């Protein structure tokens, strides 16, 4: 650039040449001040970029830790759910076996009740037959033994 500025440049019409004037001391200080300001701006931008990167890394680290914790909680919940399902299935199987045993016991009790009812009916029939037979025996005794002896009628009436 220095070579460019040292060459003559054509401004406007072709006959007029303009040469750069040597830099004035205040222009050099201004340029130096602008360079310093630009450097400060770049340093601020770099600092801001570093801070942003640190915050981003911190956010990523926190997000990863949160994700790990969430995965651990999800796995624990899945294990607990599987354990509950296994326990529920075991209890259900036990309940089914108990229900089947209860049904079997009920059927056995029904069978015993039916047999007892049948035996009771048979016993009642036998008791009726025995009562009828006893009544016939009593009648036969009265007719044959007591009728033959008229005094016995009075004794039987007194006993009865």
pTM of the model: 0.44
In angstroms, the Cα distances linking 29 to 25, 40, 122 are 6, 16, 136
Whether residue 158 has pLDDT greater than 60: no
Neighbours of 107 (CB within 10 A): 10
For 69-88, write each residue's pLDDT tens digit: 999 999 999 999 999 999 99
Distance CA 71, CA 77 (A): 10
User: Which whole-number Å values give the CA distances from 112 to 101, 108, 117, in the listed order?
Assistant: 16, 6, 8
pLDDT value for 4: 44
Show me where the domains of the chain are located. 27-149
Tell me if 11 sits within 8 A of 18, measured CB to CB: yes
Percent of the chain with pLDDT over 70: 76
Average pLDDT in the chain: 84
Residue 62 has pLDDT above 90, yes or no: yes
Residue 143 DSSP label: I
State both tokens at 159: 């006993």
Q: Reduce the DSSP state of residue 17 to 3 states and report it.
A: strand
For 131-155, how does the pLDDT look when each residue is reduced to its tens digit (9 = 90+)?
A: 999 999 999 888 888 776 555 555 5
pLDDT digits (tens, 9 = 90+) for 3-55: 444 444 444 455 554 545 555 568 889 999 999 999 999 999 999 999 999 99
Mean pLDDT over 103-130 rounds to 95
Q: Is 7 helix (H, G, I), strand (E, B) or coil?
A: coil
Provide the pLDDT for residue 149: 58
Residue 132, SS3 per DSSP:
helix
């Amino acid at each position: 650039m220095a070579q460019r500025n040292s060459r003559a440049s054509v401004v406007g019409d072709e006959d007029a040449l303009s040469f750069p004037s040597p830099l004035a001391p205040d222009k050099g200080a201004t340029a130096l001040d602008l360079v310093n300001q630009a450097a400060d701006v770049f340093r601020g931008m770099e600092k801001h970029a570093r801070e942003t990167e640190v915050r981003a890394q911190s956010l990523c680290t926190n997000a990863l830790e949160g994700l790990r914790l969430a995965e651990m909680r999800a796995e624990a919940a899945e294990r607990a759910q599987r354990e509950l399902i296994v326990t529920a299935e075991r209890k259900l199987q036990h309940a089914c076996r108990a229900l089947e045993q209860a049904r079997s016991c009920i059927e056995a009790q029904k069978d015993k009740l039916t047999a007892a009812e049948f035996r009771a009916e048979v016993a009642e029939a036998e008791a009726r037959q025995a009562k009828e037979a006893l009544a016939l025996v009593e009648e036969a005794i009265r007719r044959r033994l007591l009728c033959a002896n008229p005094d016995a009628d009075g004794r039987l009436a007194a006993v009865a």
